[in-house]
Amino acid sequence: MTAINPLLQDWNTPYGLPPFDLVKAEHFVPAFAAALPAHLAEIDAIAAESAAPTFANTLAAFDASGRLNSRISLLFENLTASETSPALQAVEVELAPRLAAHRNAIYLHAGLFARIAALYARRAELDLDPEQLRLLERVHLDFVRAGANLPPASRARYSALTERLAALSTAFTQNVLADESGFSLALEDEAALAGLPEFLRASAQEAAQQRGLPAGSHVITLSPSLAEPFLTFSDRRDLREAVWRGRVARGAHDGVHDNRPVAAEIMALRQEQAQLHGYPTYADYQLVDRMAGKPEAVSALLGKVWEPAKKKAEDDRAALTEMARSLGQPTPIAAWDWRYLAEKVRQARYDLDDAELKPYFALENMIGAMFDCAQRLFGLSFVEQHGVALHHADARLWEVRNRDNALIGLFIGDNYARASKRSGAWMHIFRSQSGHNGGTLPVVINNNNFAKADVTLLSFDDVRTLFHEFGHGLHGLLSQVKYERLAGTQVLQDYVELPSQIFENWAEEEVVLQRHARHYQSGAAMPPALLEKLKRARQFDQAWSTIMYAGPALIDMALHSLPNGSKVDIAAFEAQQCALLGVPQDIGQRHYLSHFQHLFSGPDYAAGYYVYMWAEVLDADAYDAFIEAGDPFEQKIAERLRRYIYSSGNKQDPALAFRAFRSRDPKVEPMLAKRGLIA
Per residue in 620-658, pLDDT tens?
999 999 999 999 999 999 999 999 999 999 999 999 999
The proportion of the chain whose per-residue pLDDT surpasses 70, expressed as a percent, equals 100
pLDDT per residue over 476-535, tens digit each? 999 999 999 999 999 999 999 999 999 999 999 999 999 999 999 999 999 999 999 999
Say which of 42, 469, 497, 574 is annotated catalytic: 469
Q: Residue 520 in 3-state DSSP?
A: coil
pLDDT on residue 355? 86
Q: How confident is the model at residue 539 (pLDDT cuts 50, 70, 90)?
A: confident
Q: Say whether pLDDT at 667 is over 70.
A: yes
Give dist(CA 549, CA 590) in Å, integer. Answer: 6
| Residue 34, SS3 per DSSP | helix
- Specify the pTM: 0.94
Cis omega before residue 332 (within 30°)? yes
The residues, ordered by sequence, that sit 6+ positions from 45 with a Cβ below 8 Å of its Cβ are: none
* 503-506: Cβ within 8 A, 24+ apart: 503/370, 503/373, 503/467, 503/468, 503/470, 503/471, 503/474, 504/464, 504/467, 504/468, 504/471, 504/619, 505/619, 505/623, 505/626, 505/632, 506/370, 506/373, 506/377, 506/467, 506/632
Instruction: Label residue 2 by pLDDT band (50, 70, 90).
Output: low
469 among known catalytic residues: yes
> What span, in angstroms and rounded, lies between the C-alpha atoms of 609 and 426?
15
User: For the segment 229-275, what is each residue's pLDDT rounded down to a tens digit?
Assistant: 999 999 999 999 999 999 999 999 999 999 999 999 999 999 999 99
The amino acid that residue 338 corresponds to is W
Q: How far apart are the first and last CA of the chain?
A: 66
Contact 204, 220 (CB under 8 A): yes
Burial (CB < 10 A; 0-12, 13-18, 19+), residue 470, is buried
Which positions ≥6 away from 468 have C-beta within 8 Å? 425, 500, 501, 503, 504
Instruction: Give the separation between CA 613 and CA 619, rounded to whole angstroms.
Output: 9
Lay out the sheet containing 381-385: strands in order across.
381-385, 396-401, 407-416, 443-450, 426-431
3-state helix, strand, coil in the chain (%, to 5): 60, 5, 35
The per-residue pLDDT for 113 is: 98
Q: Which amino acid type is present at position 446?
A: N
Burial (0-12, 13-18, 19+ Cβ within 10 Å), 217: middle
310-356 confidence digits (pLDDT tens): 999 999 999 999 999 999 999 999 999 999 999 999 999 999 888 89
CB of 502 within 8 A of CB of 623? Answer: yes
- Distances in Å between the Cα of 308 and the Cα atoms of 297, 342, 528, 576 are 18, 19, 33, 21
Q: What is the mean pLDDT of residues 460-484?
A: 97
For residue 185, give the DSSP letter.
E
Q: Say what percent of the chain tops pLDDT 90.
A: 96
* Confidence at residue 205, expressed as pLDDT on a 0 to 100 scale: 95
Q: Which long-range contacts (CB under 8 A, 24 or more apart) does 400-408 make?
A: 400/477, 402/378, 403/379, 405/381, 407/441, 408/380, 408/441, 408/442, 408/477, 408/478
What pLDDT is recorded for position 308? 94
609-626 average pLDDT score: 96
Mean pLDDT rounded to a whole number for the chain: 96
Q: What is the mean pLDDT of residues 663-679?
A: 91
Please report the DSSP string for 412-454 in residue order: EEEEE--TTS-SS-EEEEEE--B-GGG-B--EEEEEEEEPP-S
pLDDT tens digits, one per residue of 389-419: 999 999 999 999 999 999 999 999 999 999 9
Rounded CA-CA distance 220/212 in Å is 14
The three-state DSSP-derived secondary structure of 92-147 is: HHHHHHHHHHHHHHHHCCHHHHHHHHHHHHCHHHCCCCHHHHHHHHHHHHHHHHCC
> What pLDDT score does 677 carry?
85
DSSP per-residue string spanning 69-85: HHHHHHHHHHHHHHS--
Q: What is the CA radius of gyration of the chain?
A: 25
Q: Are 17 and 443 in contact (CB under 8 A)?
A: yes
Q: Is there a contact between 170 and 96 (Cβ–Cβ < 8 Å)?
A: yes
Residue 185: phi, psi to the nearest 5? -105, 110
pLDDT tens-digit series, residues 169-219: 999 999 999 999 999 999 999 999 999 999 999 999 999 999 999 999 999
- Residue 386: pLDDT above 60? yes
Q: In this model, does residue 1 exceed pLDDT 80? A: no
Hey, what long-range contacts does 311-315 have (CB within 8 A, 24 or more apart)? 312/542, 312/543, 312/676, 312/677, 313/543, 313/544, 313/547, 313/584, 313/587, 315/543
pLDDT value, residue 676: 86
Q: Please, which pLDDT band fits residue 679 given cuts at 50, 70 and 90?
A: confident
Is 446 exposed, middle or buried (CB count within 10 Å of its CB: 0-12, 13-18, 19+)? buried
